[in-house]
Structure 1
Amino acid sequence: MDFDFDLFVIGGGSGGVRAARVAAGEAGARVGLAEESRMGGTCVIRGCVPKKLMVFASEYAEGMHEAADYGWDVRIGGFDWPKFRTRLETELDRLEGVYNSLLEGSGVTIFAQRATVADAHTVRLADGSTKTAKHILIAAGGRPSMPEFENIELAISSNDVFHLDELPRRLLVVGGGYIACEMACIFNGLGTDVTQFYRGAQILRGFDGEARGHIAEHMQRHGIGIHCGTNILSLEKTDDGIEVRSTTGDTFTFDQVLFATGRTPNTAGLGLEDVGVELGRRGEVVVDDYSQTAVPSIYAIGDVTNRVQLTPVAIREGMAFVETVFKGNPTPVDHALIPSAVFTQPEYGSVGLSEEDAREQEPIDVYATSFRPMHKAFIGRDDRVLMKLIVSQETRKVLGVHIVSDKAGEMIQLAGVAVKMGATKEDFDRTVAVHPTMSEELVTLKTPVRTA
């Protein structure tokens, strides 16, 4: 059969764009790509990039206070949200243009419209036309999950925070995952009065328990009102804002209510089940180790598979797909020991197992320290750093590294290399410390604080 394309990609996020570019540019494939929204997807347009720029903006207030304590003559004024938002939108427009240029430069044919799957080798575009392809790659990403109850339209999702007309004076963040906690810290840093509701017992479920407690304590000390074991019963618009009634019986009023309660794979209405693609309980595309679905010609990568929802993972999956399908080099995706960072304030970097998961697996030694770093201690700040190593008693391999501190994301990237290589505690011990730094504590921890 003569197909229109060798590959048709549905979704213009980081994973889909990388797969399309490499398949066309390096493997010489005829590639089409459809994106119904903006090129760049969640990460570039409504996730990692704008969020990190907001993190940068939110850190300056505390930085200016610290500068004054260090001796600088600093005038601390208000934050100009419209000025920042305009600059942010300009930067996102620039990045979207870069993505489009990279695709066009690689010879990818772009369709700026929605595409659905018609059969194993055919996609249907929103204009009614169809395109055939030897292979179809689903890279449609995910979307914020919003609950269903009365007046939910009064609330916003994490997609909306970058486009607010004005900075809210009072904000409720609903959720306890990394997006919720990052947003709470961002708006707190920008001067908003932030309250956070989470139905669980402690924020950041799934991460290391000690690190979670450390971050929660820090957030509360810096003015964020965290209410665990709490959810929303009702929302109602009033003259003073949005009245929120909680499950604890309390009533609050806010200017904005942000739901950051998870993300859902973008598979609704794509026609996947109709052609035989299996979907999981949350709507995720079920794939094998090579990102192949139950339909041999259809593959899926990124958040739509709900494996590991991280941009670099989606990119790796896209590269492995091209190696497997277009370069004749079957390449499974390695999802083990992926470093990650939560951009709360302070940041949290982790790789490997949490203490809780590790002690379920085998006997471990835990090396940990919490201290006031030089930068903070000098000006009398109480903020503390947490450094933690989880070590196998049998093999002495470092099973997990957890860092809660400023720039933890930068540190965990390098620690991730060592853990991925199978470094032992003694390998860490043999490494000479860089002094004076916070990270030197990772190689000077000599005695376990506990065993499990």
Structure 2
Amino acid sequence: MTKRKTSVVIIGGGPGGYEAALVGAHLGADVTIIDSDGLGGAAVLTDCVPSKTLISTADYMSEFETASDLGVHLEDEEGDEVSDARAQLAEVNGRVLALAAAQSADIGARLAEVGVRVVKGVGRLLTPTSVEATTEDGVETLAAEVILIATGATPRVVPTAQPDGERILTWQQIYGLEELPEKLIVVGSGVTGAELAQAYLGLGADVTLVSSRDLVLPGEDEDAAALIEDVFRKRGMEVLNRSRMAGAERTEDGVIVRLEDGRTVEGSHVLLAVGAVPRTANLGLEEVGVEVADSGHITVDRVSRTSVRGIYAAGDCTGVFALASVAAMQGRLAMQHALGDAVAPLRVGAVAANIFTDPEIATVGRSQREIAERGVEVDSVMMPLATNPRAKMLGINEGFVKLFSARGSGTILGGVVVAPRASELIFPVALAVQHRLSVDQVASTFTVYPSLTGSLAEAARRLHAID
């Protein structure tokens, strides 16, 4: 006798949705995804993949500058040194969008391979066990024993600065630009604003960053944020601290941004990076009793359950942590829990994150300040990469590694890496935090010499407790 499959309906095809679908199919469920924007969601089509591809292009251009410091010079046929590399933005953006589309297609192929049905349309809850899908062909009602909401978020806009897709842009609209902005004003110095401000600076644009805080990247490690702001200024970016936008409007041939203190900033384009809002309106949440916070985010527990039995939520619509990796983990946990598989609840304190500036900022665990606020005595050490032999070979002059450990036990609680490709270097620290390793266990693990990871082991050695 064939066992009946559990019916699962997922609203949203981003990382939370498609990763959940793969797990659900693997565990034997009958899975349907209702997707309105394209598989991969904003993370693949308009956010993470495109922005990091753009940033990678800017990073590649910066390597020309580093090459001359290493004794390598580019010359033309006459032997004259070539000093400038130029970005053709139409070609750059064409590659960015093609890569995003290819990634989305790969996700679709993988879902089809495991038998997941994808419905292109808009989903809405009818009851705790049924979902309505509105498509070009009409309306379909889907019965569901398990429902996952993974609808993501959308760029926040303000009434006094309405995006037009031409001069006043959100981060989802910048890939339509044909030419490099002559002078780009970036409003917002959080992760998205900082990343894209430096990317366009690296591509050759004149960039002004409007930051409402004392320091860029508020909420991040202060040493890392201070270093990045210093890098921004050294490379020619104008950073306006403690400056809040009142509004933005088009002029005859550009834009003007008005600040609350009366100052104005003129440019050719303005990029708005002032946060995101969850896409939870018109989903039928209130009608079926799903608890929603005042911010619009869906309330979930550590295995992604909402307040209604059988309904789960994952990703940016939950407000847990606006990262594609966290959305994917939430989606996987939801399916594992709903379908009776073994599951370990989400540990926010073990999340690894990266800011793709140059150098990158990678973090894992809670910050030193957060740990101290919880009453835990912390030992910490910070080592500049300038003293690392591998960094010297690579021409790396900026950056550091930092580790935090619990005083007494030596358990590693968190860490920060500021370096090129820090996103690749943070993994051993993430392993240490996830598995509650001690500084002595990390210090006694072999590293390659010379290597940047050698500085992580050295930091752990310096944290060894002496009785």
> Please, what TM-score do these two structures have when normalized by structure 2?
0.89
Q: Which residue of 1 aligns with 2:29?
A: 29
The 5 A counterparts of 1:48-87 are 48-74=48-74, 75=82, 76-87=84-95
Q: Which residue of 1 aligns with 2:189?
A: 176
Structure 1 residue 244 displacement after superposition: 1.6
Asked whether the equivalents of residues 6 and 28 of structure 2 are also in contact (C-alpha less than 8 Å), the reply is no
Structure 1 residue 391 displacement after superposition: 2.1
Q: Which residue of 2 aligns with 1:148?
A: 159
Say whether 1:228 aligns with 2:241. Answer: yes
1:270 to 283, 301, 304: 283
Asked whether the equivalents of residues 170 and 194 of structure 1 are also in contact (C-alpha less than 8 Å), the reply is yes
SS in 2 for 1:399: strand
Structure 1 residue 4 displacement after superposition: 11
Q: Which residue of 2 aligns with 1:299?
A: 312
Q: Pick which of 422-431 and 173-182 moved more.
A: 422-431
User: Partners of 1:150 and 1:137 in 2: how far apart?
Assistant: 34
| CA deviation profile, 1:340-360 (whole Å, cap 9, x unmatched) | 111111100111222222222
User: Partners of 1:409 and 1:62 in 2: how far apart?
Assistant: 18
Asked whether the equivalents of residues 209 and 354 of structure 1 are also in contact (C-alpha less than 8 Å), the reply is no
Asked whether the equivalents of residues 414 and 429 of structure 2 are also in contact (C-alpha less than 8 Å), the reply is no
User: Partners of 2:244 and 2:155 in 1: how far apart?
Assistant: 18
User: Partners of 1:319 and 1:207 in 2: how far apart?
Assistant: 27
Q: Which residue of 1 aligns with 2:150?
A: 139
Asked whether the equivalents of residues 47 and 159 of structure 1 are also in contact (C-alpha less than 8 Å), the reply is yes
Given the superposition, is the C-alpha separation of residues 191 and 306 from structure 1 closer, same or farther in structure 2, using an over 3 Å criterion?
same
Q: Which residue of 2 aligns with 1:369?
A: 383
Q: Which residue of 1 aligns with 2:172?
A: 159
AA in 2 matched with 1:239: E
Structure 1 residue 371 displacement after superposition: 4.6
Alignment coverage as a number of residue pairs: 444
Structure 1 residue 5 displacement after superposition: 7.5
Asked whether the equivalents of residues 349 and 408 of structure 1 are also in contact (C-alpha less than 8 Å), the reply is yes
Asked whether the equivalents of residues 240 and 253 of structure 1 are also in contact (C-alpha less than 8 Å), the reply is no
The 5 A counterparts of 1:65-144 are 65-74=65-74, 75=82, 76-126=84-134, 127-144=138-155
1:403 to 417, 421, 430: 417
User: Partners of 2:288 and 2:211 in 1: how far apart?
Assistant: 39
- Aligned-residue Cα RMSD (Å) equals 2.3
- Structure 1 spans left out of the alignment, 5+ residues: none
AA in 1 matched with 2:94: T
Structure 1 residue 151 displacement after superposition: 4.7
SS in 2 for 1:17: helix
Q: Which residue of 1 aligns with 2:329?
A: 316
Given the superposition, is the C-alpha separation of residues 330 and 412 from structure 1 closer, same or farther in structure 2, using an over 3 Å criterion?
closer
Say whether 1:435 aligns with 2:449. Answer: yes
AA in 2 matched with 1:407: R
Asked whether the equivalents of residues 231 and 247 of structure 1 are also in contact (C-alpha less than 8 Å), the reply is yes
User: Partners of 1:253 and 1:42 in 2: how far apart?
Assistant: 30
Structure 1 residue 383 displacement after superposition: 3.7
| CA deviation profile, 1:163-201 (whole Å, cap 9, x unmatched) | 223221111111121111111111111011111111122
User: Partners of 2:115 and 2:442 in 1: how far apart?
Assistant: 47
Q: Which residue of 2 aligns with 1:185?
A: 198
Q: Pick which of 241-250 and 330-339 moved more.
A: 330-339
Asked whether the equivalents of residues 55 and 343 of structure 1 are also in contact (C-alpha less than 8 Å), the reply is yes
User: Partners of 2:195 and 2:262 in 1: how far apart?
Assistant: 27
1:422 to 436, 442, 446: 436
AA in 2 matched with 1:137: L
> Please, what TM-score do these two structures have when normalized by structure 1?
0.92
Q: Which residue of 1 aligns with 2:78?
A: none
SS in 2 for 1:302: coil
Given the superposition, is the C-alpha separation of residues 274 and 192 from structure 1 closer, same or farther in structure 2, using an over 3 Å criterion?
same
Q: Which residue of 1 aligns with 2:8?
A: 7
- Structure 2 spans left out of the alignment, 5+ residues: 75-81
AA in 1 matched with 2:158: P
| CA deviation profile, 1:416-449 (whole Å, cap 9, x unmatched) | 112222222223333445332333222224657x
User: Partners of 2:24 and 2:360 in 1: how far apart?
Assistant: 36
Structure 1 residue 16 displacement after superposition: 0.6
Structure 1 residue 325 displacement after superposition: 1.6
Q: Pick which of 313-322 and 301-310 moved more.
A: 313-322
User: Partners of 1:226 and 1:335 in 2: how far apart?
Assistant: 32
Q: Which residue of 1 aligns with 2:79?
A: none
Asked whether the equivalents of residues 241 and 253 of structure 1 are also in contact (C-alpha less than 8 Å), the reply is yes
User: Partners of 2:142 and 2:55 in 1: how far apart?
Assistant: 42
Q: Which residue of 1 aligns with 2:19?
A: 18
Asked whether the equivalents of residues 5 and 29 of structure 2 are also in contact (C-alpha less than 8 Å), the reply is no
AA in 2 matched with 1:160: Q
Structure 1 residue 328 displacement after superposition: 4.7
Structure 1 residue 55 displacement after superposition: 1.4
User: Partners of 1:108 and 1:364 in 2: how far apart?
Assistant: 47
Percent of pairs identical after alignment?
A: 28
Given the superposition, is the C-alpha separation of residues 103 and 69 from structure 1 closer, same or farther in structure 2, using an over 3 Å criterion?
same
Asked whether the equivalents of residues 161 and 168 of structure 2 are also in contact (C-alpha less than 8 Å), the reply is no
AA in 2 matched with 1:388: K
AA in 2 matched with 1:123: V
Asked whether the equivalents of residues 433 and 444 of structure 1 are also in contact (C-alpha less than 8 Å), the reply is no
AA in 1 matched with 2:88: D
Asked whether the equivalents of residues 245 and 258 of structure 2 are also in contact (C-alpha less than 8 Å), the reply is yes
The 5 A counterparts of 1:176-215 are 176-215=189-228
